[in-house]
Amino acid sequence: MIGYVQTPDPVSLDVRGVRFAYPDGHVALHGVDLTVPRGERVALLGPNGAGKTTLVLHLNGILTATEGSVRVGGLTISRDRATLAEIRRRVGIVFQDPDDQLFLPTVAEDVAFGPANLGLRGAELTARVDEALAAVGMGEHRDRTPHHLSFGQRRRVAVATVLAMRPEILVLDEPSSNLDPAARRELAGILRALPVTLLMVTHDLPYALELCDRSVILDEGRIVADAPTRTLLANQELLSTHRLELPYGFTPRP
């Protein structure tokens, strides 16, 4: 079991009035409000270009809001170096392409990279790597070269690189993309067992239903719906309005 250090604040993520404009003047977020209590699992849905990636990049300070604030476990994101370092430990982002996060000769070295930068060494660092790999079922592959693994295995290692930082919030960008059915199912089992707050960006609506009791829809930089996932997916008019579609034959009951 991962030994996470949880903050005392009951709210993992508190986004208040976040507005963001890119240098060319394009406004990508229009006053977004989003609160995620600790331990909740939320799917972030929306069409391409809705602002989902822009919002995610605000959660660990990669982007800074033009207006508004983001708090993680009670800590407000700022440009202060110590604050940013702690925010980036608390918010672990797993990108859609695992190869964006795996760049060292072995799996163990990739997983150790983050905690080593926090100053961990020796037995403490080894233990952190072991627990993260065990959490994703990849302990036996610790000495392998990442590019020799299957895509699904690389995605699990990418998750482990984030878990090794003992985050409070795990943010996943399209976690089921390019996975075969078995790898998709295995990853779902891993994610369900993790004792973290989860924010999952996805177009895979059945996966959202499987893993997240709550979903929000972001479109044109605004939260346009926030409700139980099953309720949202049963509203065909709402999905159609925001360019979301269920797979053929998949009909969730409200």
Cα→Cα distances 240→25, 29, 217, Å: 29, 21, 12
How confident is residue 6, by pLDDT bands cut at 50, 70 and 90? Answer: low
Strands 27-37 and 11-21: antiparallel
Identify the weakest region by mean pLDDT among 8-12, 51-55, 250-254. 250-254
Asked whether residue 119 is assigned to any structural domain, the reply reads yes
**pLDDT given for residue 252 in this prediction:** 82
**Structure tokens that stand for 66 in this block:** 């033009």
Q: What share of the chain in percent tops pLDDT 90?
A: 93
Work out how many domains the chain is built from and give that number. 1
Q: Which helix (H) or strand (E) holds 165?
A: none
How confident is the model over 75-89, as pLDDT tens digits?
999 989 999 999 999
Q: What is the mean pLDDT of residues 50-69?
A: 95
pTM to 2 decimals? 0.93
* pLDDT band (50, 70, 90) for residue 226: very high
Residue 252 domain flag: no
**Residue type for position 104:** L
- The answer to whether position 254 is within a domain reads no
Torsions phi, psi of 40, nearest 5? Answer: -80, 155
Specify if 251 maps to a domain: no
CB 94 within 8 A of CB 170: yes
pLDDT for position 250: 87
In whole angstroms, give the CA distance from residue 4 to residue 50.
Answer: 32
Residue 57 predicted with pLDDT over 90: yes
The Cβ of residue 230 has, within 10 Å, a number of other Cβ atoms equal to 15
Q: Name the DSSP letter for residue 196.
A: S
pLDDT given at position 1: 43
Strands 67-72 and 11-21: antiparallel
pLDDT at residue 254, as a whole number: 64
Say what the pLDDT of residue 7 is.
61
CATH code for the domain of 191: 3.40.50.300
Residues whose CB is less than 8 angstroms from the CB of residue 234 and which lie 6 or more positions away in sequence, other chains included: 252, 253, 254
Q: Is residue 215 part of a domain?
A: yes
Position 3 pLDDT exceeds 50: no
Tens digit of each residue's pLDDT (9 = 90 or more) over 126-179: 999 999 999 999 999 999 999 999 999 999 999 999 999 999 999 999 999 999
In a domain, 4, yes or no: no
Domain presence at residue 30: yes
Looking at per-residue pLDDT, the higher value among 1 and 179 belongs to 179
User: Is residue 245, in this structure, part of any structural domain at all?
Assistant: no
Q: Which domain holds residue 204?
A: 11-238
- Tell me what the pLDDT averaged over the chain comes to: 94
pLDDT, tens digit, 9 for 90 and up, residues 169-217 = 999 999 999 999 999 999 999 999 999 999 999 999 999 999 999 999 9
Query: pLDDT band at residue 9, thresholds of 50, 70 and 90?
Result: confident
- Of 136, 134, 131, 189, nearest to 159 by C-alpha is 136
